[in-house]
Structure 1
Amino acid sequence: MPVQYILGEWDFRGLNLKMVPPVFIPRPETEELVEWALEEVALRPRAADAQEGPLILEVGCGSGAISLSLLSRLPQSRAIAVDKGDAAICLTRENAQRLHLQDRIQIVPLDVTLEGSWAHLLPWGPLDLIISNPPYIFRQDMEQLAPEIRSYEDPAALDGGEKGMDIIEHVLALAPRLMKDSGSIFLEVDPRHPELIGSWLQSRPDLSLNLVAVRRDFCGRPRFVHIQRSGVRGGCPVDVQPGPLPARVPR
């Protein structure tokens, strides 16, 4: 059994989160995803009279690690966290209460693969940011995962389909319906995915989404993508950025 489940808790970017099987355990790489999103938010111009921070959607919230970490660093922000698993919804709710962030987050059971499901999110207003560590393992690679992962963690949080793109494609196809014109999407992906995502977006110019940057993880693998909505169709140069290099064990 993974040590996180044995202890019943784990730290993520300084937050002590409750952990229970089979909810996906957040990895060190995902801390880098959050840091990149925070860097981009800090760079954005903000109106002098703005009273609120960004409205954030986390797809596949699991323990709530990503959205709660963002809320803790962005005091004026609000978040919506969605997951199709009941255990994940319950755990995110517990962790939000544990961190006294429950008043700034809406936790919604939602399967993004179901047609029309995202209509439930429209009343909260247009999103500034969508962020996710979606299931992205190529199906043929599932058997190669460590035994403790296969035995204890929810396979639905790992299996991304034949090319690991099933949930990623759903998120990208639906995002423009919910986002502001300048909204951003941050995803953690397999190192093979940035090229696949770039090609897929080029085949869907109707979405007006551009892959604007790829960042490497601490092992030098292209692990994170930044996609931005724009009214201008067509591709744009992709900036491949190096990631930080802390001494951590990779997934």
Structure 2
Amino acid sequence: MSFKNIRQLTTLFQSELKEIYAQEEIRNFIALIFDYKLSYSKVDLLMKQEDELAADIILFCEEALEKLKNHIPIQYIFGETEFYGLKFNVNPAVLIPRPETEELVHWIIEDCKTPDPEMLDIGTGSGCIPITLKKNIPDAKVKGWDISDEALTTARSNAALNNVMVDFCKQNALELKDVNEAFDIIVSNPPYVLEKEKELMHDNVLNNEPHLALFVPDNQPLLFYHAIAEFAKSNLKPSGKLYFEINEAFGDETVEMMEQLGFENIVLKKDLFGKDRMVRGEVN
């Protein structure tokens, strides 16, 4: 079925995607597409249902439909997303930033009282965490580490896009023993999805987002957390803080691990959905 206007396009999308997505999600895809391509509001969508679409818009919508049918996330189709009010380039080399990570960043921004803080994000991906921290705490000196060259290229492009200076470099989160630098704040959203949880994940995540940034062995759920916490214990300045985004199933275990390493004033924090999602610990 071809389409010439928004009404016909909506009918086509609902018909072609109904076996994969909920109706509300399909409507949201259409709203996002027209906001992205034409800056249409939802009122515009209603008022211009019968307006004839330009050829380039029709082509983009046709290509987007095929990609959505193949479970490609809408953010990868656009090549961009929004995080904490900022625009970020995204591609299959980096995870799509999540609302829970916005909550983590907000916690750090609200918490930070140190003048000219030195900050580090380990496993930076798109760079959304350090870039947003730098944007909101301009006097901070911020670094981002990742093992993926492709992710670092994306992160650097995002720093330029948002007009901030962040020092990105290649570093393996599991090989930090010989690194000796001092920070006021270390943050990480490391891989925390168990291999056995793959079957519970949606195809748009499983088939498109980088497994390197997602999964850990079933028998080592805190693999990255332990390595990063050990590094933080040695490399945080006095009264420095370590922040983690975590797997909701391992909140207590993460707290216990940090206690055993000597962290103090540990806080386990829930996200807006009531799930254990963030942990903060301090060094003396």
**Would you call these one fold, judging by a TM-score over 0.5?**
yes
How many residues matched? Answer: 212
Alpha-carbon distance in 1 for matches of 2:211, 2:127 = 18
Which residue does 1:94 correspond to in 2? 157
**After superposition, where does 1:1-251 map in structure 2 within 5 Å?**
1-41=72-112, 44=113, 53-102=116-165, 105-114=166-175, 116=177, 118-119=179-180, 122=181, 126-162=182-218, 163-204=220-261, 208-210=262-264, 212-230=266-284
Q: CA RMSD in A?
A: 1.5
- Give the counterpart letter for 2:174 in structure 1: T
How many Å apart are 1:133 and its aligned residue? Answer: 1.1
Alpha-carbon distance in 1 for matches of 2:130, 2:258 = 25
Larger radius of gyration: 2
How many Å apart are 1:115 and its aligned residue? Answer: 5.2
Q: Does structure 2 retain, via aligned residues, the 8 Å contact 1:111–1:117?
A: no
Alpha-carbon distance in 2 for matches of 1:137, 1:210 = 26
Alpha-carbon distance in 2 for matches of 1:3, 1:68 = 22
Unaligned runs of 5+ in 1: 47-51, 231-251
Residues 6-62 of structure 1 show CA distances to partners (whole Å, capped at 9, x for unaligned) of 001111011111111131111011000001111111xx3x5xxxxx52111001110
Q: Does structure 1 retain, via aligned residues, the 8 Å contact 2:183–2:235?
A: yes
Alpha-carbon distance in 1 for matches of 2:278, 2:171 = 24
- Give the counterpart letter for 1:57 in structure 2: L
SS for the counterpart of 2:239 is strand
SS for the counterpart of 2:215 is coil
Residues 110-150 of structure 1 show CA distances to partners (whole Å, capped at 9, x for unaligned) of 0021254524xx2xxx2010111111112211232111111
Higher relative contact order (CA 8 A, sep 6+): 1
Alpha-carbon distance in 1 for matches of 2:243, 2:216 = 17
SS for the counterpart of 2:145 is strand
SS for the counterpart of 2:217 is coil
Alpha-carbon distance in 2 for matches of 1:22, 1:148 = 14
How many Å apart are 1:186 and its aligned residue? Answer: 1.0
- Give the counterpart letter for 2:283 in structure 1: R
How many Å apart are 1:187 and its aligned residue? Answer: 0.8
Q: Does structure 1 retain, via aligned residues, the 8 Å contact 2:255–2:279?
A: no
**Stretch deviating more after TM superposition (19-28 or 81-90):** 19-28
Alpha-carbon distance in 1 for matches of 2:105, 2:260 = 28
Q: Does structure 1 retain, via aligned residues, the 8 Å contact 2:177–2:231?
A: no
SS for the counterpart of 1:180 is strand
TM-score scaled to structure 2, two decimals? 0.71
**Stretch deviating more after TM superposition (138-147 or 56-65):** 138-147
Identical aligned residues as a percent = 27
How many Å apart are 1:96 and its aligned residue? Answer: 0.6
SS for the counterpart of 1:118 is coil
Alpha-carbon distance in 2 for matches of 1:117, 1:143 = 37
SS for the counterpart of 1:152 is coil
Alpha-carbon distance in 2 for matches of 1:23, 1:68 = 15
TM-score scaled to structure 1, two decimals? 0.80
